[in-house]
Structure 1
Amino acid sequence: MRPTAGLAKLSGATMMAAALLFPLEVRAQASNNGLSNLFGGIFSGPNAGPSQPAQGTDGPKPWSGEDGASGHPLMTAAAIRQAAANFDACVQSMWPDAARRGVTQENFQRFTTGLSPDLRIMDLMDSQPEFTKSIWDYLDILVNDNRLAKGKEVLAKYKAQFDATEKAYGVDRYIIASIWGIESNYSTQMGDRSVLQSTATLACIGRRQAYFKDEFLSALEILNRGDLRPEQLRGSWAGAFGPTQFMPTAFKRFAVDGDGDGRRDVVDNPTDLIASTANNLKKDGWQAGQTWGFEVAVPQGFNYMLADRAKAMTIAQWEKLGVVRANRQPFPHPAEKAYLLAPAGAAGPGFLMLQNYRVIMKYNPAEAYALAIGHFADRLRGGQPFVQPWPRQERELSRTERLELQQLLAQRGFYKGTPDGQFGGQTREALRNFQASIGAPADGFASSDMLERLRGR
């Protein structure tokens, strides 16, 4: 679940968005290409790319045979072919490491014999989509009536398991049900790639070999222990599997045997799945009995330089600055600390984010994802849609335009990084400083108007 060494686990979260967005790969992909690719800057997490390839009657699409878009030397076509030719030797070279983890030689041979590289993954790892989705389109796709209805059915069907899990871990059942729904559409879209093949491919080929070697060896440990069978260990191209999309290393840290049958089956056993997901959130710092955040109305003329994850204040302090709940209800705990998020800038709704929102961000380091999880959980609980409108008249910048925006910010001395068309915290900070310099609301929102202002037109 949580990212390791800058790599987030690819979630099937977005799989829901199927062909529209980025099916099945938000956490692990978050390491590979840049979540911000997909939504033009609303993400503050590492990286992510498109996702599971479309599969037709002729099977998975083949590798393109082209250099990767990242420009990394290990992602050139020649380097990929050379590594693929050495794949068998690479896999066998990991036997001593597997043995140190308790994998038997018999099982190592059993699970690795016949493995072949899936080179299509190289295209997926380095894909850079030209167009992105806005946060409101993302939320519209993921938080919908059909998923809400299914979520309520799941909550009722597994009420006993949710009751026991809430009592044992103190984690809100609606958050767990939300993650389940958004990651895999309640177990209907979990990915169909062999986790062993995917992680072996990435451990031996491409630019993240050290990270994926750990994932591959962890997958072997799972099979060696007997928690899951090989046919259950199927998921995304980056190795995320199960209804709530565990990476193998996350499974090792967080999976629990909820029903005491001796196996930690987070794929087909709802008791283990619910308890393991709760254990993940609890160990990441979930605060029992607390919510994730509040939709807020921000006053005109507000200093958006304060809208920063590093600038947390008590809710009482935010109230003194004129920030109020969008539904005009009082805040339940004014002494709680929160930070202000304005994902669509001054023209959209604001949100005061609490500790539990930060915990969801550990599950997947993307602001839009965490907002979708929190909001979907509230809707499952019986809450209402967001009160304030999104600036739906705004269009998302293309990758070419995002690259140009970064280049123009760099020319003016605001952006110090290497322009790549991927928006993260550094781009947002640079844009804020530019906006402040021209007397515009410094909200860091990359609108087409801001691009025009940078162009000097």
Structure 2
Amino acid sequence: MASRTLRSGVRAALALAAAVLVTPAAAQAQTTGSIFPFLQPPAQQPAAAGGGHPLMQPEALAQAQANFPNCIAALWPLAQSKGVSRRTFERYTARLEPQMKIMDFMDSQPEFSKPIGAYVNMLVTDWRIKKGREILERYKPIFEKVEKAYGVDRYAVAAIWGIESTYGDPDGIGRRNVLESVATLACIGRRQEYFRDEFIATLQILEKDDVPYDHMKGSWAGAFGPTQFMPTSFQRFAVDFDGDGKRNVVDSIPDIIASTANNLKLDGWEFGKAWGYEVVLPQGFDYRSANRTIKKSLAEWNAMGVRRTGGIAYPRPGESAYLLLPAGSGGPAFLMMKNFDAILRYNPADAYALAIGHLADRLRGGGAFAQSWPKEERGLSKAERLEIQGRLAQMGYDIGNVDGILGQKTRVAIQDFQARSGMVPDGYPDLQVLAQMRR
């Protein structure tokens, strides 16, 4: 994202949610507020010849492409039941053509995932901080009204805007026709059931004329607008804040800001509270306490020697938090609270939520993290993540599905393996852990 060609917040978020090692187990199921639930692993399917999902095989794709007009026509009863008129349906579906290039994007992943520190540094840049402060000042009256109406920190909203689309850069928003994208995915490929809902939701938006058809441009997966709403998320969270009778999250700055704030509010944001604190751990700390399910009050963490960086006191010692070591014992440590979980519901990837929280703090005037990220050569490949899970399963650990997504069960199993092997039990899956397993 440091260059213009990498400024697509959607592409970054896709890569994060699909590939970063620290996706929480809680986010592996579809969450109410997530705008990227299609990134979750598909249900287990019989292996097709040549490997991969059967609906993504060349023959299946060709058959689905040929059947595309029939598939779209068959969705009319569902659209009608959701309030879409026949006129709207025919007007916008008559000339639809499947965009087969999307299939290349659907299952493409980088060979190796980036270490989380590299992602956060890539997303929270001096340029984004400068531009974000300009945006906050330019639209200050709107941010103030929205903050008062929804009780959501303006800096968090601005951070989402900045990371999702680099504050509305067309390359960040995406240039694909949303209806074409979701129609293609509703009839072709491995996530048809999910995208049928997105297709119908898009028609509902067009039925109500909330966003003009030719302004609905977005990612290959259908996320649109400066803060990248999926169509179904638009239906749940979008609001008409400028009072013109339209919920336009593309062209109306008040609607964009307010709808994003409403999303965070309904996902559990608590006004006036932090998303988390960077902390320093004491010598001899038991790293097995780094577990999302282990929640303690800030006062209890403080009594264990877990202190905020800079020696600053916790403002609300009674608040509950869990300890997160996103890069293991060699990187920054954080106590995370409810507002961090609210960001995770917006997009279920730790790297994304950390970047949003950190950028919000920087926009407010805060400084960089006190602790440096470890200088890792690279993250694990999908094959290596699968190997770690497979080896843990062979050892008798319950890690859930062997799917390459290293969630909470896998992290806890890694902690136990590390402790038994004389390693620091921080639960961080890296090349050293894999090398130890191979011995």
Shift of 1:453: 1.2
Gaps of 5+ in 1: 1-14, 52-66
**2:10 counterpart of 1:24:** yes
Q: Percent of pairs identical after alignment? A: 51
Task: Give, as a single letter, the amino acid of the residue that structure 2 aligns with 1:281.
Answer: L
After TM superposition, list the pairs within 5 Å mapping 1:296-445 onto structure 2: 296-393=279-376, 395-414=378-397, 416-417=399-400, 419-445=402-428
**2:260 counterpart of 1:243:** no
Distance 1:50 1:284, change over 3 A: closer
Among 60, 83, 96, which residue is 2:77 paired with? 96
- In structure 2, how many angstroms separate the alpha carbons of the residues matched to 1:225 and 1:20? 34
After superposition, the CA RMSD in angstroms is 2.4
Cα deviation per residue 1:89-124 (whole Å; 9 max; x = unaligned)? Answer: 111111111122221111111111110111122221
2:194 counterpart SS class = helix
- In structure 2, how many angstroms separate the alpha carbons of the residues matched to 1:256 and 1:202? 27
Cα deviation per residue 1:149-180 (whole Å; 9 max; x = unaligned)? Answer: 11011001100100110111111100000000
- In structure 1, how many angstroms separate the alpha carbons of the residues matched to 2:254 and 2:49? 41
Distance 1:21 1:266, change over 3 A: closer
Residue 453 of structure 1 is matched in structure 2 by 436
Distance 1:198 1:36, change over 3 A: closer
1:288 counterpart SS class = coil
After TM superposition, list the pairs within 5 Å mapping 1:53-452 onto structure 2: 71-188=52-169, 189-393=172-376, 395-414=378-397, 416-417=399-400, 419-452=402-435
Task: Give, as a single letter, the amino acid of the residue that structure 2 aligns with 1:86.
Answer: N
Q: Are the aligned partners of 2:22 and 2:349 in contact in 1 as well (CA < 8 Å)?
A: no
1:389 counterpart SS class = coil
Distance 1:365 1:68, change over 3 A: farther
Q: Are the aligned partners of 1:69 and 1:127 in contact in 2 as well (CA < 8 Å)?
A: no
- In structure 1, how many angstroms separate the alpha carbons of the residues matched to 2:77 and 2:63? 23
Among 2, 17, 20, which residue is 1:35 paired with? 17
- In structure 1, how many angstroms separate the alpha carbons of the residues matched to 2:37 and 2:381? 15
- Tell me which moved more, 143-152 or 72-81: 72-81
Residue 28 of structure 2 is matched in structure 1 by 46
- In structure 1, how many angstroms separate the alpha carbons of the residues matched to 2:317 and 2:289? 18
Q: Are the aligned partners of 2:330 and 2:373 in contact in 1 as well (CA < 8 Å)?
A: yes
1:327 counterpart SS class = helix
Cα deviation per residue 1:283-335 (whole Å; 9 max; x = unaligned)? Answer: 11111111111000112332222212221111011112110001210000000
Shift of 1:41: 3.9
Task: Give, as a single letter, the amino acid of the residue that structure 2 aligns with 1:303.
Answer: D
1:278 counterpart SS class = helix
- In structure 1, how many angstroms separate the alpha carbons of the residues matched to 2:255 and 2:381? 42
Q: Are the aligned partners of 2:23 and 2:348 in contact in 1 as well (CA < 8 Å)?
A: no
- In structure 2, how many angstroms separate the alpha carbons of the residues matched to 1:212 and 1:292? 32
1:138 counterpart SS class = helix
Q: Are the aligned partners of 1:49 and 1:124 in contact in 2 as well (CA < 8 Å)?
A: no
Cα deviation per residue 1:72-100 (whole Å; 9 max; x = unaligned)? Answer: 22121111111111110111111111122
Q: TM-score, normalised by structure 2?
A: 0.90
Cα deviation per residue 1:30-51 (whole Å; 9 max; x = unaligned)? Answer: 8xxx8252x3445654398999
Q: Are the aligned partners of 2:268 and 2:339 in contact in 1 as well (CA < 8 Å)?
A: yes
Distance 1:220 1:16, change over 3 A: farther
Shift of 1:338: 0.6
- In structure 2, how many angstroms separate the alpha carbons of the residues matched to 1:323 and 1:285? 26
Report the number of matched residues: 422
Task: Give, as a single letter, the amino acid of the residue that structure 2 aligns with 1:440.
Answer: M
Residue 5 of structure 1 is matched in structure 2 by none
Task: Give, as a single letter, the amino acid of the residue that structure 2 aligns with 1:364.
Answer: N
Q: Are the aligned partners of 1:202 and 1:209 in contact in 2 as well (CA < 8 Å)?
A: yes
Q: TM-score, normalised by structure 1?
A: 0.87
Distance 1:449 1:50, change over 3 A: farther
Q: Are the aligned partners of 2:123 and 2:355 in contact in 1 as well (CA < 8 Å)?
A: yes
Task: Give, as a single letter, the amino acid of the residue that structure 1 aligns with 2:81.
Answer: R
1:271 counterpart SS class = helix
- Tell me which moved more, 275-284 or 440-449: 440-449
Gaps of 5+ in 2: 30-35, 40-47
Q: Could you say which structure has the higher helix fraction?
A: 2
**Greater length-normalized contact order (CA 8 Å, ≥ 6 residues apart):** 2
Shift of 1:391: 1.3
Shift of 1:398: 2.8
Distance 1:18 1:342, change over 3 A: farther
Q: Are the aligned partners of 1:293 and 1:353 in contact in 2 as well (CA < 8 Å)?
A: yes
- In structure 1, how many angstroms separate the alpha carbons of the residues matched to 2:312 and 2:370? 12
